[in-house]
Amino acid sequence: MSTQPTVISDANIPWELPSRGRVGMFCLISAESAIFTIFVVAYLFYVGKSLTGPMPKDVLHAPIFFTICLLSSSLTIHLAIKALKRAKVGSFALWWFFTLALGATFLFGTAREWHHLIYDEGLIIQTNLFGTTYYSLVGLHAFHVTVGLLAITTVLLFALFGYVREEHAERVDVLALYWHFVDAVWVVVFTVVYVVGR
């Protein structure tokens, strides 16, 4: 059978399809959202049902500063991409570094909070339902932050060695999408754990 193309009458209309990177990342974000939803549902379901042990209102202190850090990193990553699209590679690297620093600060904050909870308040996964659900939900988010930071570090290294250029803006934007998702999840987790759940 020949493969001669059939002429289409609307051949003048340009054939534009979405970029596969963005579609793929949206799908990944949807899947991850579903996973987080289940952990959030479990957290909310078990609020107030622990039989023993420290209760949220006794031990939880809302990490406002670290939350501001994480949410600001969404802004810095956005600025980084904007710079890269204008071929300002140096500016890109700077904002990108700030994103990494802010994200790392957030992780440090989580680590500090957990250290306090474990050693000073005696709250671990085994303690009670609150312990199980809290560490699982916040830990799952922290894991995603970590993965994001590893990817951001890799890109930063590439940038420092001069491998990142204007034409890579779209690919880096896909990673930024992931990072925005991680921040959005934190908004939800923060609300559920430190506002509603107390």
Tell me 164's DSSP state. Answer: -
Applying CB under 8 A, which part among 4-12, 80-88, 100-108, 171-179 lies near another protein?
Answer: 4-12
Contact between 177 and 22 under an 8 Å Cβ cutoff? The reply is yes
Structure tokens at 110: 């989580």
Is residue 15 a contact point for another protein (CB under 8 A)? yes
Cβ proximity to another protein: between 20 and 57 the closer is: 20
Whole-Å CA distances, 47 to 37, 65, 142, 162, 194: 15, 25, 21, 50, 12
Cβ proximity to another protein: between 3 and 195 the closer is: 3
Exactly one of 91, 132, 146, 153 binds another protein (CB under 8 A); that residue is: 132
One character per residue 24-63, x = contact with another protein (rule: CB under 8 A): x--xx-xxxxxxxxxx--x--xx--xxx------------
Round to whole Å and give the CA distance between 35 and 22.
20
Is residue 19 a contact point for another protein (CB under 8 A)? yes
